[in-house]
Every structure is written in C-alpha cells, then in structure tokens.
Amino acid sequence: MSGLPLCYPPHFEPGKARVAVRWLQQAYVQYQQWCEQGKPRQAQAFHWSAPTDLGWHFSEPIWSGERSHGLLNEPEPFGFTVQEGGAKVYVVLRGTRSAEDWLDDLDARQVSVPWEPAEGRVHAGFLLLYQSIKPSLLAALARYPVQTPVVICGHSLGGALASLALADLRSRWPQRTLDYYSFGSPRVGNPAFAAWLDQHCLHAFRIVNDSDLVPQTPMAICGDWRYQHHGQTVEFAASYASLSDNHSLADCYGYALQHSQAPVNDAVQR
C-alpha cells in the first residue's frame, strides 16, 4: 500500500526538511547520552559526543532550566544549533522524553504571548518549557551574525517549542530570514496567535501524517480555550499498527520525505 503521497506547497524545500530530520534524530541521541551519563543536572557536567560530520559546526546543547514541577524538576538537554560552513543555521529541538516534559504537555491552559509585537494566547505548559530553554537557545544563536538565515525545526513537543521560538525570534529580529519545519507538532496557540505567525512568518511548514494523533492535540476546542495550527500543512497518509509508529520521526516522517510518492514504510507493522 503506497498511502497518500506528499505534495509540496510553494517555497517548501524537501532538502531542508530532510536535513532537519537528520539532526532531530541526533537530538534524541543527545538525550540518550545524557541518560547514560546519569542525567547530570549541570550543563557543564554533561559530555555530549556531537556528530563529526565534515563541515558541520555544532553549538553546546540547548539546555532547559527549572520548570516549577516540585520534585519533578530536572534540567535536561533539548537539542542544539548546527551550521554547515557559513550557511544557514538549524535550531534543532526534540520531543517529549521525561516526566517533566509530559507535565508540560498536559498543561493546556492558555496564557498571553509575552513578546511584543506578537499577539494571541498560547499553551501554558509549552510556554513554560520554552522560557526555560530560551536563555540557552539565545546563547547558541549569539555566535552567528544576525544576517545568518535560521531554520527552526522540531518533532512533536519540539515542534511546539519551535513555534514559540519562531514567534519570539520574529519579534526580536523582524527582518531576519526565519524558516520553520515541524514534524507531528501539536497545536500551540489560539487563532490570534496562529494569524500573527501566518502574517509575519511566511515560510512555516508543518509536515503531518494524517494518522498521527499528536497534531490533533490539544483539541481545537479545549474547555474554555480555542486552539489553531499555524503555517502551511504538508500532509501525507501512512497508517501503522501503533500510535508511536504513526508518530515516529525516522520510520514515519523521515521515510515519507525520502519516498514522497509512496510514503508507507513496509518495514513497519501495519
């Protein structure tokens, strides 16, 4: 079974999306290395073995701070920035892994966007986590000239963080070239937030498997809150036997980008 093929909208660059998947997989490797080292609480105590691909230059890990979860309050690495030569910079943000991440996922109250002139309301848990990684993210970006183009990418929860980073960085640098590529991202904010991003960030693409449940959360009407996706949807259909397979970065999303006309991976159980 081939599934519904990927159809690319104008300005979508498959090469950028494939590079994003490549480095997002390394963000999960980074987290696994941190676990194997006993989850050190201090960034300087974590020894990340970054990829050694020729010509690519990596920042220090993007690190979360404390998030007010009581006993569940463990700083952790969330990704990195990477640049090939003097070209564009990728901001790479992974998805949910720890109990703290799940607590952030579940806090679907909405709060006002804290950056002017951005508008609207956003998911409180996602914003709490983004604010905790923001100092490390800005420090990583500070090593590049402000005219350097930036591609912000994320998978799952990382896609939500990438949306908030997009709004924050656009408010900070109105003229900077910012692209956005997410994979299986949940909804992040209300219609006003989505409309502001759509107006100010034209090259924002959400790659979505229509069998993946994560992009359907939070629900469009969630109690007293309304949620709406931003950006252009780049959709395909690949239905597998489990929720995790439908959401898999490598076996679902990565495979579809490599096989856009027949995105169903026959090596994965259906």
Residues labelled catalytic: 156, 212
Cβ count near 220 (within 10 Å): 13
Q: Is the dihedral of CA 185, 186, 190, 191 positive or negative?
A: positive
263-266 LR contacts (CB < 8 Å, sep 24+)? 263/2, 263/3, 263/4, 263/5, 263/6, 263/236, 263/237, 263/238, 264/1, 264/2, 264/3, 264/237, 264/238, 264/239, 265/238, 265/240
d(CA 112, CA 210): 30
| Type and span of the H or E element at 173 | none
- Check residue 71 and report its DSSP letter: T
Give Cα 214 to chain centroid, integer Å: 13
CA 54 to chain centre: 25
Q: Is 269 exposed, middle or buried (0-12, 13-18, 19+ CB in 10 A)?
A: exposed
How distant, in Å, are the alpha carbons of 125, 233, 268 from that of 183?
Answer: 19, 10, 18
The residues facing 57 across adjacent strands are: 83
Q: SS3 for 61?
A: coil
Backbone phi and psi for residue 71, each to the nearest 5 degrees, phi listed first: -65, -30
What does the alpha-carbon distance between residue 105 and residue 3 come to, in Å, rounded to a whole number? Answer: 30
